[in-house]
Amino acid sequence: MISGAALGGILLSAAIIRADEGMWLFNEPPRKLLKERYNFEPTDSWLEHVQKSSVRFNSGGSGSFVSEDGLVMSNHHVGADSLQKVSDETHNYYRDGFHARTLAEELPCRDLELNVLISIEDVTDRVNAAIKSGSTADEAFAQRRAITAEIEKESTDKTRLRSDVITLFEGGKYHLYRFKKYTDVRLVFAPEQQAAFYGGDPDNFEYPRYDLDVCFVRAYENGKPAHVEHSLKWSEAGAAENELVFVSGHPGHTSRLQTMAELAYTRDQQFPYTLSWLHRSEVMLNAYSGRTEENARRAKKMLFSAQNSRKAREGGLAGLLDPAVMTKKQASEKQLQDFYGKSEHTGDSPWKKIEAAQKVISEHALVYNLLETGQAFNSRYFQIARTLARSAAERGKPNGERLREFRESARESLEFSLFSDEPLYDDFERVKLADSLSWFAEKMGFTNELVQKVLAGKSPRERAAELVAGSNMKDVANRKKLYKADSSEFANSQDTMIQLALLVDFPARDVRKIIEAQAEIKQQAYAEIGKVKFAMEGSNSYPDATFTLRLAFGQVKGYEEDGKHIPFETTIAGLYQRGAEHKNKPPFDIPPSWLKQKSKLDLNTPFNFVSTADIIGGNSGSPVINRNAEVVGLIFDGNIQSLVLDFVYSDFQARAVAVHSSALIEALRKVYDAGPIADELTGKKHSNSK
């Protein structure tokens, strides 16, 4: 461990990438690193096989072909959306699980699109050539959009494949990705939620774990199971300690270029502020839920979301408060700056530009959070009223000049959300609003002019009651009517929430303008840094995550925590033990199916395990494979220490959490009576009955 005091003196000499770091591009894999660290050299056909066996869930997640008959493996929580959509009044497949015993029983998933990456082409030169020299940032943006649209259209016309130009290294590179699409996808199997998400919120982001977070779907073509050329074989043994493993999946977003200035802001201001808001929300929702069962039902989704966000921020902040992590970031930033310093530049460096922008953002962040993101007015009624009032105001402007969410391209999702008939409850709106009005007064000071205007001479609680009682935003027909009204009608509205939305609209737009201008400055500066990084490292590096296919690698390995060794794997026996320790109380109750079949199970079967592979949200459902590209596990979470991977890789305690391949087979055969699926996975059975 390097102490903070020594921070200035550390300089890593040559390679920035060490250890098991990296979310690598399939066309620029870490050949050197793998050779050096693990004496492993992936062949081109190994890479092609893994790439084409990997599947992206466009609903947000990863998966893989695990049989030549188009069987796709992912997580229960990745399939959650589909499981809920195929459910009806009499079948709650999300909660209770699903099992198609024949092809005929496989249920079509609504709106689910799977993508398989077929080819990658570097189109950087063509994109850059289209930018006329001397263009302003806005002009360059438009020119870039035009050329990428042209490239994509050409490719689609030629290949009939979905074609996306992906911006990598913040604009250092542009790659054309071609995907085969599957839109006929059918549900095959999912366990009950209690098995998939065993331990609930208390165990979320934690390790050791005992979750069977799996879901199988099948890709169809022409009404029949897709026959796929590439699918992953199953490993007989599964993941073993210290083994080299790979994760092929779609990490969603990382911020590893984030400068020290921005990280310091995130650590010292943004995360602490967000955490205090989340702590407050969690307490408020818990207290509301404690009053009645019905309250608990109403607040459940919001409470889980607050807890999940809180844990994620806690983990991220803990990482940023770790001197080892920050020392590493500092050293890598210094290298980039030194490289940048070797050539001539005019004006401020991108790091200076970001620091300056960040300073402005930091001064306005509080007001932005309160007024524009609406923390001060935590009620759906307010959000709806503001959307309606702004919609009327924005509609009159040319499309390009509107606020982002009111552009034509966003219209469909705007209307979908605005006219949702999701039930809303006055008492819940009142409680949330009263609490947030108090937060507003606490943060801005009670004597602040806008606070005084908003509260209108009442206490937060009274004012919230008045605002909720005087608004008709609950009525969807009323929303539809107002959606057609023009601005003048809003100005005269007697609806209290409309009045509130108008009262705060000017200062809210004002602060948004300031923040967005700085964000634009930062984006351009990050593009500069991205180019520096790319120039310095070339293909010895990997770009920030972009929800496109990447290859990560690492070792199956436990870690030390609070002076204790956390073993790399758990066993099925551990599940029953954990249930017993909790007297089988939720969320630690053993699912009845597992209680019933306990005597049949080999309790020593490995259940979950961890590895040092570099993953982040979006990797959920990714296969964990060995050197032979055989499935040894299924990624479903990261531990709390892995949450810092958004900013920087660490293998000290950060771990990717996976279901062990042996547990999948054991459970399918013995708990779920799903032997045929296990046979299909392990190649013991051929073609499903075609």
Query: Contact 512/155 with Cβ under 8 angstroms?
Result: no
Q: Does 103 bind a second copy (CB under 8 A)?
A: no
Site string for a second copy, 586-625 (x = CB under 8 A): ----------------------------------------
Shortest Å, Cβ 94 to a second copy: 23
Single residue of 135, 183, 459, 689 touching a second copy by CB under 8 A? 459
CA dist 280 and 292 (Å) reads 20
565 binds a second copy (CB under 8 A): no
Of the candidates 209, 271, 140, 321, which has an alpha carbon nearest to the alpha carbon of residue 569? Answer: 209
Is 669 a binder of a second copy (CB under 8 A)? no
| Beta strand 630-638 pairing with 233-234 | parallel
Chain centre distance of CA 543:
17
10 forms part of the interface with a second copy (CB under 8 A): no
Reduced to 3 states (helix: H, G, I; strand: E, B; else coil), residue 386 is helix
* Alpha helices, H only, 58-192: 76-86, 93-96, 124-129, 137-159
**Phi, psi for residue 101 in degrees, rounded to 5:** -85, -15
Q: Does 125 bind a second copy (CB under 8 A)?
A: no
Q: Judged by CB under 8 A, which of 8, 146, 236, 272 binds a second copy? A: 272
What is the total residue count of the chain?
A: 690
Q: Using the rule CB under 8 A, give the single segment among 11-19, 143-151, 484-492, 577-585 that binds a second copy.
A: 577-585
635-665 in b/e burial notation, b at 16+ Cβ within 10 A? bbbbbbbbbbbbbbbbbbbbbbbbbbbbbbb
Our finding on whether 1 is near a second copy (CB under 8 A) is yes
* 3-state per-residue secondary structure call for 424-456: CCHHHHHHHHHHHHHHHHHHHCCCCHHHHHHHC
Instruction: Report the relative pairing of strands 162-168 and 71-74 from DSSP bridges.
Output: unpaired
Q: Contacting a second copy (CB under 8 A), which of 48, 150, 282, 679?
A: 282
**How would you classify residue 328: left for phi > 0, otherwise alpha for psi between -120 and 50, otherwise beta?**
alpha
Contact pattern for a second copy over residues 289 through 318, marking x by CB under 8 A: -xxxx----------------x------xx
Closest CB to a second copy among residues 173, 463:
463
User: For residues 287 and 410, which CB has a smaller minimum distance to a second copy in the complex?
Assistant: 287
Residue 89 touching a second copy (CB under 8 A): no
Please tell me the distance from the alpha carbon of residue 631 to that of residue 622, in angstroms, as a whole number.
10
Are the C-beta atoms of residues 201 and 308 closer than 8 Å to each other?
yes
462 Cβ partners below 8 Å, 6+ apart? Answer: none
Is residue 331 part of the contact set for a second copy (CB under 8 A)?
no
Q: Which is nearer to a second copy, 290 or 396 (CB)?
A: 290
Q: Should residue 268 be labelled a site residue for a second copy when binding is judged by CB under 8 A?
A: yes
Query: What are the Cα distances from residue 664, in Å, to 31, 174, 233, 670?
Result: 31, 39, 14, 10
Nearest distance from C-beta of residue 495 to a second copy, angstroms:
16
Q: Pick out residues in 43-82 that bind a second copy (CB under 8 A).
A: none
Assess 566 for contact with a second copy (CB under 8 A). Answer: no
Tokens 């300073």 belong to residue: 359
Stretch that binds a second copy, among 52-60, 65-73, 86-94, 281-289 (CB under 8 A): 281-289
Nearer to a second copy by Cβ, of 321 and 491: the residue is: 321
Half-sphere exposure of 110 (CA within 13 A, CB side): 6
What's the closest the beta carbon of residue 583 comes to a second copy, in angstroms? 6
Cα 180 from Cα 549, distance rounded (Å) = 13
Residue 73 and residue 620: Cα distance in Å, rounded? 11
Establish if 396 lies at the interface with a second copy (CB under 8 A).
no
The binder of a second copy chosen from 31, 512, 582, 627 (CB under 8 A): 582
| Residues in region 185-204 near a second copy by CB under 8 A | 201-202
Residue identified by tokens 């050293």 is: 331
Selected from 241, 442, 475, 673, the binder of a second copy by CB under 8 A is 442
Among the listed ranges 30-38, 390-398, 455-463, 509-517, the one in contact with a second copy (CB under 8 A) is: 455-463
* In the complex, minimum distance from the CB of residue 508 to a second copy, in angstroms, rounded to a whole number: 22
Q: How far is the CB of 461 from a second copy (least distance, A)?
A: 6
469 binds a second copy, rule: CB under 8 A: yes
CB 635 within 8 A of CB 658: yes
Question: Least distance to a second copy from the beta carbon of 460, Å?
Answer: 6
**Using CA atoms, how far apart are residues 630 and 689, in angstroms rounded to an integer?**
24
Can residue 584 be called a binding residue for a second copy (CB under 8 A)? no
Binding mask 235-264 for a second copy (x = CB under 8 A): -----------------------------x
Least separation in angstroms between residue 653's CB and a second copy is 9
Residue 390 near a second copy by CB under 8 A: no
Binding test (CB under 8 A) with a second copy, winner from 399, 452, 687, 689:
452
Q: What is the CA radius of gyration of the chain?
A: 26
Decide if residue 9 touches a second copy (CB under 8 A): no
Per-residue contact track with a second copy, 545 to 564, x per CB under 8 A?
-----------------xx-
Nearer to a second copy, 294 or 673 (CB): 294
Q: Which is nearer to a second copy, 414 or 573 (CB)?
A: 573
Burial class (CB in 10 A: 0-12, 13-18, 19+), 512: middle
Q: Of 138, 583, 599, 604, which lies in the binding site for a second copy, with binding defined by CB under 8 A?
A: 583
The stretch among 65-73, 138-146, 242-250, 434-442 that binds a second copy (CB under 8 A) is 434-442
Amino acid residing at 37: R
Size of the site for a second copy (CB under 8 A): 62
**Residue 137 structure tokens:** 């940032």
472 HSE (CA, 13 A, CB side): 11
Q: Is the peptide bond before 587 cis (omega within 30 degrees of 0)?
A: yes
Instruction: For residue 256, give the nearest of 650, 622, 657, 658 by alpha carbon.
Output: 650
Q: Could you give the C-alpha distances from 599 to 213, 573, 589, 590, 608, in angstroms and in order?
A: 22, 11, 17, 14, 20
Minimum CB separation of residue 635 from a second copy in Å reads: 23
Task: Give me the residues that bind a second copy (CB under 8 A), please.
Answer: 1-6, 201-202, 264, 267-268, 271-272, 275-276, 279-280, 282-283, 286-287, 290-293, 310, 317-325, 427, 430, 438, 441-443, 445-447, 452, 455-462, 464-465, 469, 562-563, 581-583, 585
